[in-house]
Structure 1
């Protein structure tokens, strides 16, 4: 088979199955990314969610026998809601990042990659393919950059000329000798907006991220959130879009190309107070289909409590008192105590004083004391 012609057939087929951009690169080691990951590890910047073996993240030959090429795909997602809901007094809302608005992108991209694999193997049965999305070993961004999907921005996202950085990425290692595409040159230039406005200073410099400080990472942790980050959270329940929304390359970029990626406003921007008491079954039914639910309800509930403190929502005081006194989880009780202190008022003060007399947990007591100190200052 003419591999040049077949590459074109793969490109054409990809357009029919909901792949918005496709690129090809060699299966050689990603040396530049390896050096970056070594520096990241040396500075303890990694999140802990990634594959710990750096070699596996940059060397395709460790993941498949005799790989010869990698196919990178990008699928564009919306940056705006068609139907908007408003956060207002008594009905305050949180927000999930745009990458978690529709159906879980892991499923969407895996389905498309599976179809692409079937297309390739139907024509070349001996072809070997190994696909991965996000949770795979390879660094999606490194593959996409070298395959010409876009350039690696200072915000640590792949930025495409067509869709900005609002794209999901996936890749497929293959045994076929596809001709590699040309990598795209960096277009960030002297622009430093994303680095300058990062809420926690997690973008150390262009293209280097301290994941331990990144709000997107922090929203996914399950323990007490360090106090210096709580007020940075705002009303974010999962993820953070700040470094994308300020990017000039994203101005005017909003694509609604795939029905399954359209957000349900009540899921993407849900009311905060009902989240405090949501049961496991209801949480799974409502939020289970989106990627932002993967860590379970506890981080979302903790972040909802912090968001209510951000709004200083006095209408939530009774609910927060109930959480502080009745929830079995120390992280949730303690965060509620902190939030009551931030909101303030006589009712909060009285409840915190009473809670201090009754609470036995060594992690919750300091949070109650913090709450009291906010009001008694």
Structure 2
């Protein structure tokens, strides 16, 4: 049965196109993907992300337990900070990518992908062993909204007088008299904030953020634009760039894998891959020929199949078809030409440097120079 977030009826009343996403009834778009994408890049957008999962891990053994389970090192994770991390199987492939928040000493919140909630929970509990730790799934009790875009800070300052967190930090404060975790994180390549609070308050917080942002041109944003935004930023999506057949090293996430720390699940194989490399690697490309390369489209070079597209889209920012692909390493140099099979015909693409789009702080962005991009774009309109 398809599940609904607390805001499902709100989205329907706003005229959203609703779809089944990972077993959830979610808004794909309200106006259009291009309009919502551009609004997030230039103003601010509000996303319903209540389908994501949240676990609370606490107890005297919580630090050691999470150090064993995840590849990144929690030693530098102080109270009030969040860290991107990955759970891996013994063979080094990805169970899930996630964020870990340190709420207090010996207490953490883990935010996982909606499609992996049950799998992740079972995996963590399976390896609990003798660790003195409690693992609680609070997903159904927790709402999550994302406010993203260059004007998001101005909007949030209308709702709270609290000192706002730095990038990858969070605060716990009152928002509309509701206890809320506000983290400076996101999945769009923009500055922005993510909010966690009791699910019964979802509609109230949603409405107040939209009201506060009205003068700044805020709009509700669907999953369609969320995907185009994250592809421009070259962020991985589980089931595309990460899954149980791909390791973090293969997709450029080796910087997360801290092999110098104590043992963790998958360490042996991941350490070998970091030292000796992998047979395939994730690259990003732009289309030279017309056409949009979608997930699982085959890629060829010199009449040899060398890999497949993991994600692809038309970029509203650059007005160009872009994507990510997993290919054989010898063909992965920047500037190399690829041939992607689209509707039975080969279309030329070119490997470029990633990311296409990157938030650098202080309302400054680094953008790729894309082939044939209109000069008036300059990365943004």
TM-score w.r.t. length of structure 2: 0.28
Q: Name the structure with the higher strand share.
A: 2
* Greater C-alpha radius of gyration: 1
Q: Which structure has more RCO (C-alpha within 8 Å, separation ≥ 6)?
A: 1
TM-score (structure 1 length as normaliser): 0.29
